[in-house]
Each structure stands twice: as structure tokens, then as C-alpha cells.
Amino acid sequence: MIIGKIKDNGLIQDEPLIFEQGGEGRRGYSLPQWDVEEVEAQQTIPPHLLKEELEGFPQMSEVDVVRHFTRLSQWNFGVDSGFYPLGSCTMKYNPKLNEEIARMKGFTSIHPYQPEESVQGILKLMYELQSFLAEITGMDQVTLQPAAGAHGELTGLMMIRAALKARGQKRRKVLVPDTAHGTNCSTSTVTSFQMIEIKSNEKGIISPDQVARLMDEDIAAIMVTNPNTLGLFEEHLAEIAQIVHQKGGFVYCDGANLNALMGIVKLGSLGVDMVHLNLHKTFSTPHGGGGPGSGPLAVKKELAPFLPIPIIVKEGETYRFSENHPLSIGKIKAFYGNFGVTLKAYAYILSMGAEGLKRASEMAVLNANYLMNRLKQYYYLPYDRPCMHECVFTDRYQEKHHVTTLDIAKRLIDYGFHPPTIYFPLVVKGALMMEPTETESKEGLNRFIETMIHIAKEAQENPDFLRQAPQRVKVRRLDEVLAARKPKLRWTGKNPNNQIPSSQ
């Protein structure tokens, strides 16, 4: 088996499956001799609770295990490796200082069952973070409990349902724009609301007239993403909020794109009643690979009685958890959220300060508009107007050469760039959604822009080659439909070619 091979682009470490490695009797550990009698698991544990034996389970030494997983880690691409323009997801570089702070023993050694008097510093930190987030959003109170943005949405709609119940109302519908994140739709369904879609207008934003036509006494809320997933600011939000409030509804804002607004716009001043924030996007936690995340929910005082318990309160100079809130929707997370993530957000906000947060937003918007204006003559721009933190192109100019958005994304991999978000938002056919964030330099943006221009020229001059991208990678283009419909998640001991299946 070839472990390393030299190519024109350097040494590529091929790595077989761990099940294909090792040898009989190898161990990566050394345990003391047992002082109890050894018995078979079947003698003490009911058969239905035992895992099925894995055939050919590998036996490996410590160095083999370390090298295996180190090689696998080198296949990953992250924001520490290079530009990561994943639109609608704010994959920005986060200061390592905040990671170090989160690893300090005073934070990592605490336990959620400690007496409140022994963790006053921790409670003060969370209380102050809530105050910071309330100030940034223009809201009155914040809960740190939600573990992700979708969890914040769920909490918000549960609170809206509880608030309507307290009024003696049972509204059944929620308005969701076609430029919203997909979680808005699923959250509406999970909380037993019927979703009513609002079509965006020719400018890519919501029209107050359309909201007025749809709004009635059966609408519980409108869920608005601002800036929306086209990277455009919902400029009529204050007027829309007034229309919704006049009919007794609530305005929920998806704050996943706050990276364009912090320090500039207070959503509460636009009539928003509640907004969730993705701390793992905007406030310094590397995200991806499933988490952990944090999606605090900020609300106006009218909705504060329905916040989940416990609620952190300050009495004199003492901080404590309060659970005596009869209108609360109850507990939504074990203990009090993902503390390590909230801690990094606290450190980020303190280190940046108000002016630093504002500057970050300004640079995110500047970078996105620079990228948009440099590329719009090479890729079709469906909404040719100033954007916020991200911009959306399509493959319309490349269609005549039978080159698709997927081909463009795959070709970017050959040049060492992570592709942007593709085919989202759904309102744009063949979308290429790019978010540069504030952490990218002009030189870094120029390298990406020049590569995108080069790919546009390749689409004209050599489209057949482009459709075969990526070329300079370990594994060529996969059959993604087959992988999604017939995933192989369990080792069978049968892989005669020792290769990952591909469509090439």
C-alpha cells in the first residue's frame, strides 16, 4: 500500500481506514492488573443491551493511532487554513486568546451543582454578558440557555405561544419570508404553527404592503432575518413591525447575520420583540462539525415573564438563579446553556469594546461590497445594489457553456479555496453565496477574486475540463446523491480496492 506519493503539488498523505491497519496483540494503553474476577459481559448484562460485535476491530499501538488521526486532521479545511467564504454562516477567524481564557482552570473546574455562593464570579460574568447582549440588540432581557440558533428560535416561538395563551388567544400562523433561514420554517412546524410564506419583492426584501395583506388576527408572529439571506437589509422593518403590532402579533428576528449590524443598528429600535444571536458565529467561537453552539434569546420587557428558568438575578451585590416565575415556559437546557461558548463571547466583547464591535461590522460590510463589485461583471448578480455582510451571485453567465454552480465550487478546491455556500438561498437559481467577514485582508480577498475571475475564463475556454473538477485532490467528485440515499455508516470488512467510492 502506498502511504505517501510525490506529485507536482507536494506530498499527499494517503490514509487507509483504521479497520485496515494494526496487528494482533498491539495495544495503545497499559492498565494495572485487575483485582477482581474477570467475567464475560454476557453473564452480567442482558443481551438486548449489548452492542453487536464489530468484526475485525483494529488493534493498534499508540503511535499508529496518533499518526492515523493526525493525518485525517490534515485533510480538514478550516478558517485557520485559509479563506472560508461560507455565506449565511459567518465562518470568521476567532482570536486564540479567547480560547485560552475558556481553558483557564478556574472556568474548567467548576461544577453546575456547586453552591451559588461559590460561583459568584461565574454568575456575575453571565449576568453581565446578558446585559451586553441586551445593549447590542436594544432589548430588555436575555437568556443564555439556548444551545444554538435554532434552539433560540424554538425558545422564542414557545414564549410567543405562552404569551398568547396568557392573553386568552390561540393564533395558529406565522409569517416567514422566502429569504429566511430554513430553520425558521422547521421551528414554526415544531411549535405547532402553520407557516405562511411571504415572497420578497423585486429588490430582494419584504414589502410592507404584502405583510399588510397577509396580517390578520390569526397571525402570531412574523419571523424576519435581517439582514436577510440575500445579504440585503430589510429597510422597511420598522413599518412592518408597526403593521404586525397593530394586529396583535409579535416580530421575531433571526439574528444569525448580526455580524453586519453590531454597534450600528439596534434591532429593538426597529420594533423587533425578540431576537436570537449566534454567539458561535458573531462572538468568537469556532463553529462547524456540529458545535457546540450558543443561541441566546433577547426579548422586550413584555415577553420577559415567559423567559425560561432559571433566570440570573442580582440582589444587592449577590447573584443567584431565580426559578419563581409562574409564566415561564420552563427549562429548555440542562443547567444554564453552553458556558464555554458564552465565556468566549464575553471575552470577545470586552476585548473589542463598543467601537471595536462597530468597526468589525463596518469591515464585514466593506469586504462584502468590495468582493461583489469586483466580481459582478464575471458572475451574474441578481440584486445589483449595495449589500451588507454577504452577496449572492448565480451561474447564469456560465450556463451557456454548460458550466454549473457546482462545477465552479469544485474548481475552487483545486486552487486551495473552500467553496462558498451554493444553491442557497432557494429564491436564487444556481446561487453562489459569499461572506468574506471582517477578518479577511484586501490581499486575501484579491487572491480569491482573481481565482474566481480565472475560473470564469476557464468556463468559456475549457468547460469540459471544468466539469471534471476537482483534479488536484485526494478524492475526486463523489456521487453525492448516492452517498445521501445509500450511506455506508458501518464497516463490513469489504473494501477490496481500499478506496473511497467516487463517480470518477
pLDDT tens digits, 247-256: 999 999 999 9
Regarding whether 424 and 295 lie in a shared domain, the answer is no
Residue 15 in any domain: the answer is yes
Regarding whether 329 and 242 lie in a shared domain, the answer is yes
Closest listed residue to residue 189, CA positions, set 176, 206, 208, 202: 176
Residue 496 in any domain: the answer is no
Q: Is the pLDDT of residue 272 over 90?
A: yes
Residue 173 dihedral angles phi and psi, to the nearest 5°? -125, 155
Regarding whether 265 and 152 lie in a shared domain, the answer is yes
The sign of the torsion formed by the CA atoms of 240, 242, 244, 250 equals positive
Q: Is the pLDDT of residue 57 over 90?
A: no
Angle between helix axes 182-190 and 149-167 (nearest 10 degrees) is: 40
Host domain of residue 19 = 4-33+40-74
Regarding whether 340 and 375 lie in a shared domain, the answer is no
pLDDT tens string 427-475: 999 999 999 999 999 999 999 999 999 999 999 999 999 999 998 887 7
Q: Is the pLDDT of residue 476 over 90?
A: no
Span 154-162, average pLDDT:
98
Q: Could you give the number of structural domains in the chain? A: 3
* E strand or H helix at 176: strand 173-177
Q: Is the pLDDT of residue 77 over 90?
A: no
Q: Is the pLDDT of residue 389 over 80?
A: yes
User: What is the pLDDT confidence band of residue 76, given thresholds at 50, 70 and 90?
Assistant: confident
Regarding whether 300 and 189 lie in a shared domain, the answer is yes
pLDDT at 489: 78
Span 1-6, average pLDDT:
39
Residue 417 in any domain: the answer is yes
Regarding whether 129 and 237 lie in a shared domain, the answer is yes
Closest listed residue to residue 253, CA positions, set 166, 137, 133: 137
pLDDT > 90 fraction of the chain, expressed in percent and rounded: 74
Regarding whether 338 and 409 lie in a shared domain, the answer is no
Q: Is the pLDDT of residue 492 over 70?
A: no
Regarding whether 231 and 321 lie in a shared domain, the answer is yes
| CATH of residue 166 | 3.40.640.10
pLDDT at 6: 37
Q: Is the pLDDT of residue 234 over 90?
A: yes
Q: Is the pLDDT of residue 133 over 80?
A: yes
Match 458545535 to its residue by C-alpha cell. 291
User: What is the pLDDT confidence band of residue 152, given thresholds at 50, 70 and 90?
Assistant: very high
pLDDT tens string 338-385: 999 999 999 999 999 999 999 999 999 999 999 999 999 999 999 999
CB-neighbour burial class of residue 237 (10 A; exposed 0-12, middle 13-18, buried 19+): buried
Regarding whether 181 and 140 lie in a shared domain, the answer is yes
Judge contact between 391 and 368, C-beta under 8 A: yes
User: What is the pLDDT confidence band of residue 51, given thresholds at 50, 70 and 90?
Assistant: confident
User: What is the pLDDT confidence band of residue 53, given thresholds at 50, 70 and 90?
Assistant: confident
CA angle centred on 128, ends 124 and 131, rounded to 5°: 145
Span 207-222, average pLDDT:
97
pLDDT at 374: 98
Of 453 and 39, the one with more pLDDT: 453
Residue 493 in any domain: the answer is no
Cα distances from 336 to residues 3, 124, 175, 296, 348, in angstroms, run 47, 13, 30, 11, 20
CA distance 425 to 149: 18
pLDDT > 70 fraction of the chain, expressed in percent and rounded: 94
Q: Is the pLDDT of residue 16 over 80?
A: yes
Full-model pTM = 0.88
Regarding whether 166 and 46 lie in a shared domain, the answer is no
Span 21-27, average pLDDT:
88
* 267-271, Cβ contacts within 8 angstroms, sequence gap of 24 or more: 267/137, 267/138, 267/139, 267/226, 268/137, 268/138, 268/139, 268/140, 268/298, 268/300, 269/138, 269/238, 270/226, 270/237, 270/238, 270/241, 271/237, 271/238, 271/240, 271/241, 271/242, 271/244, 271/245
CA distance 24 to 22: 7
Regarding whether 122 and 19 lie in a shared domain, the answer is no
pLDDT tens string 276-300: 999 989 998 877 665 688 999 999 9
Span 269-278, average pLDDT:
97
pLDDT tens string 310-338: 999 999 999 999 999 999 999 999 888 99
Regarding whether 439 and 322 lie in a shared domain, the answer is no
3-class SS string, 279-290: HHHHCCCCCCCC
pLDDT at 79: 86
Q: Is the pLDDT of residue 491 over 80?
A: no
| CATH of residue 408 | 3.90.1150.10
Of 87-91, 192-196, 377-381, 443-447, the range with the lowest mean pLDDT is 87-91
Match 405562552 to its residue by C-alpha cell. 162
Tally the C-alpha atoms within 13 A of residue 42's C-alpha that lie toward its C-beta: 2
User: What is the pLDDT confidence band of residue 498, given thresholds at 50, 70 and 90?
Assistant: very low
Of 498 and 457, the one with more pLDDT: 457
pLDDT at 503: 38
Q: Is the pLDDT of residue 105 over 90?
A: yes
